[in-house]
Structure 1
Amino acid sequence: MEQIKDKNQLYPVFLKLEQLQVLLVGAGNVGLEKLQSLLVNSPDAYITIVAPFVKEELRTFISSYQNCKLVERSFEEDDLNGKELIVLATDDQELHRYIYSVAKERKILINVADTPELCDFYLGSIVQKGNLKIAISTNGKSPTVAKRLKEVLNDAMPAELDDVLENMNKVRSKLNGNFEYKVKKLNALTKVLVADETAESTERKWKKIATYSLLAFALMLIGHFIFSYIPFRQMADDTVAWYKTLDKNIHWMVLAGFLAQMVDGALGMGYGVTSASVLMTTGISPAAISGAIHTSEIFASASSGYSHYRFGNVNKKLFKALVIPGVIGAAVGAVFLVTIGEEYGSWMRPAIAVYTLLLGIKFIINAFREMKPQKKFKRYRLLAAFGGFFDSFGGGGWGPIVTSTLINNGRSHKYVIGSVSLTEFFITLTSAFTFFTLIGVSHWQVIVALMLGSFIAAPLAARLAGKLPKKTSYLLLGILVIIWSGKILVKIL
């Protein structure tokens, strides 16, 4: 018995409120919350609300419920006449205790907001999917936990559950026989939902064995054909000859792709910055570097953006605010670089480098202090256009400019990274298309090398992503942005 007393001993019931007379005392914020809970679940309930002061939102809310009666005055004992259920929602504890004592004499069930010891019943959090309704109770211990569980269940339970109930109801109505027979038949139909998966698991296991065995045999046949009929020595000689025709800096290009993907995969930014920094040492023209980076980055950003979207890291409103201006900025930046970029780059690059240098320093400062809410940032479109422009113009910079600015202005790190990563796909696609149109694809070796390096690094970066502490992430982001900015400034000076 000791163990039973420690548990929730409440007995759950579902009331037909349309057949009961309910009294609600209080019409403020708490009263509105209680009333909404009652009427949302039982729109035809008969409820009398008594309160000297009525919140305007409550008055508006009940205007569409004909069975509700509003009495604007203080509570009187006669208000209990004919009532079968009482809910108290005022901030007057003495009034609550008085009504409770009178209700007990009249044997009327009562609920008192935030006072469990005066409650005969609790108003639990409710999850509803059509005809399916689940009430959650924490025995009055924590309404907040009940609300959180409600949110979890609402997201986890599919809306199609109501269709399942309707189908089961149709099946039940078509079954002939007594109640016991119907129960047995329905149990048999639904047994598959909770059946032991051992047999199914064993079947899957043998299917895998058969599939892999067949695949191995097929590979043996293919291998025999290849080794018997294809001149491997000639292929090896041709491969070596072809390798010698490649750019002498091909190793640096592959390394650029590898390092860029490692940085971008772990920190959510830096692909263009890192790869451009390495490729600039190879003597390739800035336009070709930018075009190659954006071409290879299309595949990396597509995978990254889709993953963030799938796992709920994308703020749709933020994405919509960034994508169109960013795309326009990227196209303009690409055209600007190919046509008159060299003429104006001498003063634009240092200005951007100084800006991002300050952002990098701010990252490092924020790593050692608690982030406080700042004024709401409103210039998303201008920031996106600016970031897209310089991303094309400078061969990288979308992450350092846009991500750094938004995070340093107090936006959630998770949603900034997700939204900016998804937007980056459209930015890189626009830049690559523009560069293809203007200068073609003559530097295909750079593109392939970057993609190869990224492909090698992707699994390693994926394992590292999300495992870095916030302080470490901020420090690495700050250092990365400072190095990128400093390199531009040093080169100019």
Structure 2
Amino acid sequence: MGSEEQIPDFTLQQAAKNRLFPVFLKLEELEVLLVGAGKVGLEKLTAILNNAPLSSVTVVAVVISAPVKQLALSHPRVKLIQRAFEPEDLEEKEIVIVAVNDKTTSNYIRVLSKQKNLLVNVADTPELCDFYLGSIVNKGNLKIAISTNGKSPTIAKRMREQLTELIPDEMEGVLQHMHTIRQDLKGDFAEKVRQLDDLTRLLIAKQEKLEIVRKPAGKNWTKIVMFCLLAFLFMLLGHALLSYLPLRDMADGIKRIPEYINIPSFLIMLLTGFLAQMVDGSMGMGYGTISTTFLLANGVNPAIVSSRVHSARVFSSGVSGFSHHRFGNINKKLFRALVIPGVIGSLAGATLAFYGQKYSVWVRIPLSIYTLYLGFFIVKKAFRKKNEPFKIKGAGWLASAGGFMDAFAGGGWGSLVTGTLISKRRSPRYVIGSVCLAEFFVVFASSVAFFIYLKTFFLADVAGLIIGGLLAAPIAARLVGKIPMKTMYVAVGSLVVLTSLLTLIKGISHLT
């Protein structure tokens, strides 16, 4: 009995955990067989070539789809064989990937492969796999593979999206610098490890000090938002009090307050503000279109529609931006790139709108055609395989144009800025959050400018819009992190198309 082996406790404790061993293969030095060239086969081949473009891959399939053929044209080491699988296909192969919709054939190929001691992956059949193709985060030389042990590829994809956004593009530069430092270190391996450990510990200590210094500054923008909201609110309340409650007859003025509020109209405006902000806060656009359409339908003078909608948006966009920050939907780098140019553009647009509102239709038509194209592009992209996002260039100019159009033409910030950024394959969640936060400062600037130019503001007319928007903003911001990526692409793209068509039709009608 004393000679019996005792099973270590940790073995039982880890039995229910992910026990896969992560390995990074030099795939370009191996021979790969891919059986199947349909939708799943294309997905597998794309994953291989995205990570190891010079891999030698033999594709065998009865039917080879056009996208697979197109992909093979740009990769000379990909060989296509259009016929059914034969056992001889396994000769001189080291890795086998099966992507056919036939369990009998898949199991047959696996059995033959195991007889030759080959590693096998059978798509969507974890129990037949020796390894999985996990979701991959790629930032230059930094590569992170994510596995859920075959339990939920969707969760792995969501983790990849989160990490891709969290890890800055500058990480490649950091790795290059660390490589240079490592090359210059002296001593044996143990000594180099010690020196690198000391160096990184020093960097972390410095970073912690920087975070302490930056932490108060990081919260300054929330104080700015609150200050701007309060200042604008007091400005409007002061104007309303002086307009409706003359100081010489304060008691009589208070009694007449109900005369200035149309209850049915207020309730309809409340619903409109709620719906408009639900759309805008969760999709990054639509507030202006929905609210403007309603105001025009209720007989509001088109010359002052833009000023009223912008004034109502100040409050809802402020709460929306704060809520997006609270739920972690903000990309600070993108926000900083948008906010100042957007404010400058909105001030210029408000000024030109006051002096040349009649010419706004000439700008709305080409803008609506451009955003119409963006909408179709976004919807189409929802059904494509996810590619690497493009690096955003000229975000400041984009924000300037969006701010200008929003103030001058009565809308366009969301459809132009959000639509363009999402079309560049950026994460909708962080685009919408960052654009909504920047929108507050853009709308605040144009609203103050309109107030100065028009020298009047009817608070009762937009009180419903304001309150409805305030109620909807936190709910909409919460939805952004919950809606699946494909659904968001379709919803945003469809909304851009609808908004653009309405704007285009309205612009053309003004010309006729």
Normalised to the residue count of structure 1, the TM-score between the two structures is 0.52
**Which residues in structure 2 correspond to 1:329-348 (within 5 Å)?**
329-342=345-358, 344-348=359-363
For residue 451 of structure 2, give the secondary structure of its aligned residue in structure 1.
helix
Q: How does 1:180-195 map to 2 (within 5 A)?
A: none
252-261 or 397-406: bigger deviation:
252-261
Partner of 2:321: 305
- Name the aligned partner's letter for residue 501 of structure 2: G
Query: Which whole-Å CA distance do the structure 2 matches of 1:239 and 1:477 have between them?
Result: 45
Residue 464 of structure 1 deviates from its aligned partner by: 4.0
**Inter-CA distance 8–129: structure 2 relative to 1 (3 Å threshold):** farther
Counterpart in the other structure of 2:415: 400
Query: What is the distance in 2 between the residues matched to 1:267 and 1:319?
Result: 16
Q: Find the counterpart in structure 2 of residue 163 from structure 1.
A: none
Equivalent of 1:262 in 254, 274, 278 = 278
* Distance apart, 1:257 and its partner CA: 0.8
Q: In structure 2, which of residues 287, 294, 298 is the aligned counterpart of residue 282 of structure 1?
A: 298
Partner of 1:150: none
Flag the 1:304–1:346 CA change in 2: closer, same or farther, 3 A.
closer
> What amino acid is the match of 2:187?
K
Aligned to 1:443: 458
TM-score with structure 2 setting the length: 0.51
How many residue pairs end up in the alignment? 300
Shift of 1:376: 2.6
Q: Give the conservation status (yes or no) of the 8 Å contact 1:367–1:471.
A: yes
Question: Are residues 316 and 466 of structure 1, via their aligned partners in 2, closer, same or farther at CA, if it must alter by over 3 Å?
Answer: closer
Q: Is the partner of 2:483 in helix, strand or coil?
A: coil
Q: Return closer, same or farther for 1:335/1:416 CA change in 2, 3 Å cut-off.
A: same
What residue number does 2:243 align with? none
Unaligned runs of 5+ residues in structure 2 are: 1-5, 15-141, 143-175, 213-252
Report the secondary structure of 2:187's partner residue.
strand
Mapped to 2, the partners of 1:284 and 1:397 lie a distance apart of 20
> Aligned residue for 2:7?
2
Instruction: Output the CA distance in 2 between the equivalents of 1:275 and 1:380.
Output: 27
Distance 1:458 1:60, change over 3 A: closer
Task: Tell me: CA distance 1:321–1:461, structure 2 relative to 1, closer, same or farther (3 Å).
Answer: closer
Moved more, 247-256 or 288-297: 247-256
Q: Classify 1:361/1:254 alpha carbon distance in 2 versus 1 (closer, same or farther; 3 Å).
A: same
SS of equivalent residue, structure 1 residue 69: coil
8 A Cα contact 2:323 2:473, kept in partner: no
Match of 1:391 in 2: 406
- In 1, Cα distance between equivalents of 2:177 and 2:261: 76
1:467 matches 2:489? no
CA–CA distance in structure 2, aligned partners of residues 287 and 430 of structure 1: 18
CA RMSD of aligned residues (A): 4.1
- Residue 428 of structure 1 and its aligned partner are, at CA, apart by 0.9
String of CA shifts for 1:20-74, please: whole Å, max 9, x gaps. Answer: xxxxxxxxxxxxx9xxxxxxxxxxxxxxxxxxxxx997674575x7xx337xxxx
1:302 and 1:56 map into 2 onto residues whose CA distance is 41
Deviations, residues 396-441 of structure 1 (Å, cap 9, x unaligned)? 2211110110110122223212221221111011011101110133
Match of 1:69 in 2: 187
Q: 1:346 & 1:290 partners in 2: Cα distance?
A: 13
CA distance change for structure 1 residues 439 and 311 in 2, over 3 Å: closer, same or farther? Answer: same
> 2:284 is matched by which residue type in structure 1?
G
CA distance in 2 between counterparts of 1:412 and 1:360 reads: 16
Where do residues 203-222 of structure 1 align in structure 2 (5 Å cutoff)?
Answer: none
- Compared with structure 1, are the counterparts of its residues 277 and 466 closer, same or farther at alpha carbon in structure 2 (3 Å cutoff)? farther
Please state if 1:489 is matched with 2:494. Answer: no
- Would you say 1:420 and 2:435 are equivalent positions? yes
Match of 1:320 in 2: 336
Distance 1:467 1:451 in 2: 25
1:318, 1:86 → 2: CA distance?
42
Contact conserved, 1:249 with 1:282, CA < 8 A, in 2? no
Per-residue CA deviation, residues 288-319 of structure 1 (Å, 9 max, x unaligned), is 22222222222222222223334443222222
Kindly provide the amino acid, as one letter, of the partner of residue 293 in structure 2.
S
Residue correspondence of structure 1 range 142-181 to structure 2 within 5 A:
none
Listed as ranges, the gaps of 5+ residues in structure 1 are 10-32, 34-54, 71-84, 90-110, 112-124, 134-153, 160-237
Task: Tell me the residue number matched to 1:381.
Answer: 396
Pair 312,458 (structure 1): closer, same or farther in 2 beyond 3 Å: closer
Pair 243,363 (structure 1): closer, same or farther in 2 beyond 3 Å:
farther
Higher-Rg structure is 1
Taking the aligned partners of 2:300 and 2:258, their CA distance within structure 1 comes to: 19
Q: Distance in 2 between matches of 1:428 and 1:266?
A: 18
* Native 8 Å contact 1:252 1:278 kept in 2: no
- In the alignment, the residues of structure 1 paired with residue 482 and residue 316 of structure 2 have an alpha-carbon distance, to the nearest angstrom, of 20
